[in-house]
């Protein structure tokens, strides 16, 4: 195993902190790349580098000087409003690649960023490489289990999420009684669940029918090294606020950030968490 530091481009959420802790526990050092002034409290215990979106040349130089050859993207980062007056030489040289990509879906943007990093000699590593134990195992993880109505909604949601992924739009959907109540877009899962909580009360016509499920799965053809979907206790709480029966995940391809805590919270709230076999959702890409 290499003893060089691992660089983490750290965004919001719990994933970067869990990742940094896991890597340092294995004996490797971590260098956090904090973009656009982002400064999470937990980062104080790690070596970090404050980076500007307009100056990627400084980032590559810092990683080279630190001896980093592995780079991990973890957590959500809001797309920046770039100021061309602040572009460094590296940014100017890649502008024709970067700017059009930022106007497309996440897959397109992240793939361009990955290609640029690889040209600089960096190896892009998926968060699941260090946190494989957080990938959702096959089966129902909670005391509550899906009903036949829930399974019907899961099947409907699989189809929707597959097509949503092909459009490079999102990784999740909410379905209740066959009706799509919400689609995940660039704003993320929590915003979608809040929308469902505030708008869906009149769209469950059968009082005895399924109350709805949230389904999360990677986009078809998605590079898992860059952007695996994830849930955590907050997702469970927001699903409960939306009045859903539970959460369905594509197994071995969705991260559960704090499995015990997340499952315990679902049990407390009476929701199920069910991970369906990856073979049930065709056109997917295995971890790299």
The full set of domains in the chain, from first to last, is 6-129 (3.40.50.20), 134-280 (3.40.140.80)
Q: How far apart are CA 213 and CA 236, in angstroms?
A: 11
* Residue 94 token pair: 């890649």
Q: How far apart are CA 17 and CA 265, in angstroms?
A: 20
Q: How far apart are CA 155 and CA 144, in angstroms?
A: 19
Q: How far apart are CA 16 and CA 131, in angstroms?
A: 11
pTM score, two decimals? 0.86
Whether the Cβ atoms of residue 271 and residue 239 lie closer than 8 Å to each other: yes
What pLDDT was estimated at residue 286? 46
Q: How far apart are CA 164 and CA 222, in angstroms?
A: 12
- Best CA proximity match to 184, nearest among 197, 176, 196: 196
Q: Residue 156, Cβ neighbours under 10 Å: how many?
A: 19
Tens-level pLDDT at each residue, the chain (288 residues): 467 899 999 988 899 999 999 999 999 999 999 998 888 999 998 999 999 999 999 999 999 999 999 999 998 888 888 999 999 999 999 999 888 888 877 778 888 888 999 999 999 999 999 999 999 999 999 999 999 999 999 999 999 999 998 888 889 999 999 999 999 998 999 999 999 999 998 888 888 888 999 999 998 877 778 778 999 999 999 999 999 999 999 999 999 999 999 999 999 999 999 999 976 444 444 444
Whether the Cβ atoms of residue 74 and residue 9 lie closer than 8 Å to each other: yes
């Amino acid at each position: 195993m290499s003893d060089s530091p691992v660089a983490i481009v750290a965004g919001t959420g719990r994933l970067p902190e869990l990742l940094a802790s896991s890597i340092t526990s294995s004996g490797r050092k971590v260098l956090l790349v904090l973009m656009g002034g982002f400064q999470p409290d937990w980062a104080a215990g790690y070596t970090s580098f404050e980076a500007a979106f307009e100056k990627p040349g400084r980032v590559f130089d810092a990683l080279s000087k630190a001896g980093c050859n592995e780079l991990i993207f973890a957590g959500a980062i809001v797309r920046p409003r770039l100021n061309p007056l602040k572009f460094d030489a590296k940014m100017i040289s890649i502008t024709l690649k970067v700017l059009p990509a930022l106007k497309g879906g996440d897959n397109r943007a992240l793939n361009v960023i990955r290609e640029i990093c690889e040209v600089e000699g960096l190896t892009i590593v998926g968060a699941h490489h260090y946190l494989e134990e957080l990938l959702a195992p096959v089966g129902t993880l909670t005391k509550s289990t899906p009903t036949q109505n829930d399974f019907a909604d899961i099947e409907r949601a699989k189809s929707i999420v597959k097509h949503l992924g092909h459009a490079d739009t999102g990784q999740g959907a909410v379905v209740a009684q066959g009706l799509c109540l919400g689609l995940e877009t660039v704003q993320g899962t929590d915003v979608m669940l809040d929308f469902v909580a505030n708008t869906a009360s009149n769209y469950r016509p059968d009082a005895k029918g399924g109350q709805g499920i949230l389904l999360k799965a990677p986009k078809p053809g998605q590079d898992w090294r860059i952007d695996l979907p994830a849930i955590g206790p907050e997702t469970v709480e927001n699903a409960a606020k939306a009045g859903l029966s539970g959460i369905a995940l594509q197994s071995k391809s969705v991260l559960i950030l704090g499995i015990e805590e997340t499952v315990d919270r679902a049990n407390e709230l009476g929701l199920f968490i069910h991970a369906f076999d990856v073979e049930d959702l065709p056109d997917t890409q295995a971890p790299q």
